[in-house]
Amino acid sequence: MSDDKTNMNEHYETLVVHGDHKLDEATGGIAPPIHPSSTFAFKNADQGAEFFKDPTAGFIYTRIGNPTTHLLCDKIAALEGYSHALTFSSGMAAIYAIFIGYAGPGESIVISDTIYGGTNGLIRNTMATSGIDFRWVDCTKLDEVEAAIDNTTKLIFIETPANPTLKIIDIEAISNIAKKHNILSVVDNTFQTPYLQKPREFGTDIVMHSATKYLGGHGDLVAGLITFDEKYFDKLFHVLVDTGGILSPFNAWILLRGIKTLHVRMDRHCENAKKVAEFLEGHPAIDRIWYPGLKSHPQYELGQKQMTGDGGMISFDLKGGKNAGRTVMDSVHVCTLAVSLGDVDTLIQHPASMTHSSYSEKDLLETGITPGLVRLSVGLEHVDDIIDDLKSALDKV
């Protein structure tokens, strides 16, 4: 943790605000400085050689380490409860580092069958020649997870709640299975953020984020984060340094700024989403709705056990299928028709033809990403305006 003034008795919200708090001794500035330097001068040749032997001993070159991105590492590690973290140019770069860092030819990874479409695309396209056997499993079925593991398996990778169906996976049960087989458990915690879900408390080894979403929160950057304990550092650090998918110091700084309001934003995302979900649940044009905070969610109890808030994401299936979905998306004005999520703006999109278009028709149907499924990332506008907008769009169906 970066803050030598951090008091463990302070509340989590204080950690969110102060977690990166290193006052600039020269100026007293309370905002951290941005260090754009690509390279850092050594005091002498011996020091240069020393830093190359141990790159954590000082700054060498920004692909290897940078003071601003290090502040961000300290912050996300503190918020998730781990000792170490690394920052990446995107969530996808972070996921790639985990896969390539921990598995190789002849080895296997157990992966949740409902997952962000880009992760599915990475596995089906770029990783197709990696020699890694990806085993797709409905990770709500623990016996199927067990059955997919053998002595080639290196890790289990899950996303919960899953993008886009909001299926909830039992983090503790998955961590226990991973421990039993002496393999790693990894959680993509993008949807909930550490404010609403801390996988480490349930035994997860590695947590990753598309920080592009709620952590950044304002739709103005793309970033990925991985956080873990020290023993995992070397491997992931080398993938990052060797492949070069680093986060720029400027984007690290914007992210540090965004995270300072995480708790306030997440509370309002949850509050607004619950009201929108209750409105949608009663609407005659809607066949089904998935929101972890509704008792109708098939894993409502599990969600309440492992999350401290229900989040800002809703999916719903329209009775009129894809055409009805198109009408709704083309009729909204307060909501914006755009992919991504976790922004202050409410975003609406169609997973089957957009974020999850890398899925085959068969996989879409098997994982419940139906043609009429619409995904909503509820933002921070006045909730009545979001509901009125959706109401007038749904009335056109």
Residues that bind ligand PLP (CB under 6 A): 90-92, 116, 118, 159, 163, 188, 190, 210, 212, 222, 224
DSSP string, 94-150: HHHHHHHHH--TT-EEEEESS--HHHHHHHHTGGGGS--EEEEE-TT-HHHHHHH--
Q: Quick one: 116 or 279, whose CB is closer to ligand PLP?
A: 116
Q: How far is it, in rounded angstroms, from Cα 132 to Cα 105?
A: 5
Q: Quick one: 118 or 203, whose CB is closer to ligand PLP?
A: 118
Q: Quick one: 87 or 163, whose CB is closer to ligand PLP?
A: 163
What is the chain's Cα-based Rg? Answer: 21
* 233 DSSP 8-state letter: H
Q: Quick one: 170 or 188, whose CB is closer to ligand PLP?
A: 188
In the complex, least distance from residue 140 CB atom to ligand PLP, rounded to whole angstroms: 17
In the complex, least distance from residue 211 CB atom to ligand PLP, rounded to whole angstroms: 7
Q: Quick one: 225 or 383, whose CB is closer to ligand PLP?
A: 225
In the complex, least distance from residue 328 CB atom to ligand PLP, rounded to whole angstroms: 21
In the complex, least distance from residue 380 CB atom to ligand PLP, rounded to whole angstroms: 19
Q: Quick one: 210 or 299, whose CB is closer to ligand PLP?
A: 210
In the complex, least distance from residue 209 CB atom to ligand PLP, rounded to whole angstroms: 8
In the complex, least distance from residue 91 CB atom to ligand PLP, rounded to whole angstroms: 2
Residue nearest to ligand PLP (CB): 91
Q: Cα–Cα distances in Å, from 246 out to 130, 180, 218, 238, 361?
A: 22, 34, 20, 12, 34
Q: Pull the structure tokens for residue 90.
A: 């995107």
> What sign does the CA torsion over 172, 175, 176, 177 have?
positive
Rounded to the nearest angstrom, the gap between the alpha carbon of residue 211 and the centroid of all alpha carbons in its chain is 6
Please answer whether residues 264 and 272 qualify as being in contact, where contact means their C-beta atoms are separated by less than 8 angstroms.
Answer: no
* CA angle (72, 121, 302) in 5-degree steps: 65
